[in-house]
């Protein structure tokens, strides 16, 4: 099995993130730091470590959805000792976030130990839509909506066409299938809007629903299959 696929299957992270770990020199095979993204490994023979910790295949696959509160970071570690969403999840198996929401954003966040599932969610070719409720500081005009729908420059990158629904003068629903860093906020800035409140409420066919803030639950079989069958 290729090394990045093996690491993902161990429930450490997605395949793409595994490649980052390799390029950062954090992965060892049989005690030797590797840099080859295409190396093949066999768990029965090889000893694979990340940050000098042995990694093994996980038998039990876990799929969770969390209603992330504001004030929590999504990353697994933080040098400034800020609150992490992992502090809200209490499972016997290790899980990792699929994508991220910035500290000031709330709403739907998925966690799993299935790297292949995570890869399907984040890979651009699958174009899985994410829906956000966005409250802004001033009236949203039709001209602004047209620009967002057609794609805007968020700093050297033109966004793909978005779907927009206007709920009120200062609130829109925005649907995108990309996941650039702080993309929704930057898109709004590109049309002179400042985000006051941002909440993700849907990923693919998975809905946040009435899950309370700070709580999590397991995904249903139907929700899991809706992603695996894209």
Give me the active site residues, please: 102
Report the C-alpha gap between 182 and 173 in whole angstroms.
16
Helix (H) or strand (E) holding 228: helix 221-228
Residue 154: HSE in the Cβ half-sphere, 13 Å Cα cutoff:
21
- DSSP 8-state code for residue 120: H
CA 100 – CA 108 distance, rounded (Å)? 10
What values do phi and psi take at 174, rounded to 5? -125, 130
Token reading at 196? 């006051």
Distance CA 19, CA 5 (A): 9
For residues 163 and 84, what is the distance between their CA atoms, to the nearest angstrom?
31
Provide the CB-side half-sphere exposure for 101 (13 A, CA).
29
At 129, list the tokens. 């839509």
User: Is 73 in contact with 83 (CB distance < 8 Å)?
Assistant: yes
């Amino acid at each position: 099995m290729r090394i990045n696929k093996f690491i993902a299957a161990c429930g450490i992270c997605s395949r793409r993130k595994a490649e980052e770990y390799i390029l950062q020199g954090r992965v060892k095979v049989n005690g030797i730091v590797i840099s080859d993204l295409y190396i093949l490994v066999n768990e029965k023979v090889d000893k694979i470590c990340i940050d000098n910790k042995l990694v093994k295949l996980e038998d039990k696959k876990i799929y969770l959805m969390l209603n992330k509160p504001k004030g929590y970071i999504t990353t697994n570690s933080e040098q400034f000792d800020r609150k992490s969403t992992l502090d809200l999840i209490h499972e016997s198996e290790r899980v990792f976030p699929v994508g991220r929401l910035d500290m000031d954003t709330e709403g739907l966040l998925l966690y799993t130990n299935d790297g292949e599932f995570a890869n399907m969610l984040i890979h651009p070719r699958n174009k899985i839509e994410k829906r956000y409720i966005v409250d802004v500081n001033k009236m949203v005009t039709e001209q602004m909506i047209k620009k967002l729908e057609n794609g805007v420059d968020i700093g050297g990158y033109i966004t793909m066409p978005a779907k927009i629904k206007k709920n009120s003068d200062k609130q829109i629903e925005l649907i995108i299938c990309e996941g650039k860093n702080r993309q929704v906020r930057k898109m709004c800035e590109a049309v002179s809007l400042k985000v006051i409140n941002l909440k993700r409420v849907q990923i693919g066919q998975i809905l946040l629903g009435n899950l309370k803030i700070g709580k999590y639950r397991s995904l249903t079989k139907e929700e899991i299959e809706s992603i695996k069958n894209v």
